[in-house]
Amino acid sequence: MSRKPYSTEVTEKPTDNSTGNSKIKIWLWSAVALLITNFVVVGIVAFLIHRDSVPYKPNQSTTEQRQL
C-alpha cells in the first residue's frame, strides 16, 4: 500500500532558503545577547569586588582629614 506523504514530512524540501536564513539570524542574535549578558555580569562582579576592596571610612575626624 502506497500513501501520499504529508507536507510536514522530511521528504518535501522547501523551495526557498528563508528558513535557513532565519535560523542563522536567530543563532546570531542569541550569540550577541549572550555576549552582552556575560559582559554585564562580569562588570557587576568586578564592581562588587572593587567596592569590597576599598576601605570605607564614613566619618573622618577633622584631624584625619588635615593629615591627608
- Model confidence over 25-57: pLDDT tens digits? 999 999 999 999 999 999 999 999 999 998 877
**C-alpha–C-alpha distance, residues 40 and 10, integer Å:** 41
% of the chain exceeding 90 in pLDDT: 43
14 pLDDT higher than 70: no
| Angle at alpha carbon of residue 54, lines to 57 and 67, rounded to 5° | 45
| Angle at alpha carbon of residue 33, lines to 32 and 34, rounded to 5° | 90
Amino acid 62 reads T
64 pLDDT higher than 80: no
Q: Provide the mean pLDDT of the chain.
A: 79
Cβ(5)–Cβ(12) below 8 Å? yes
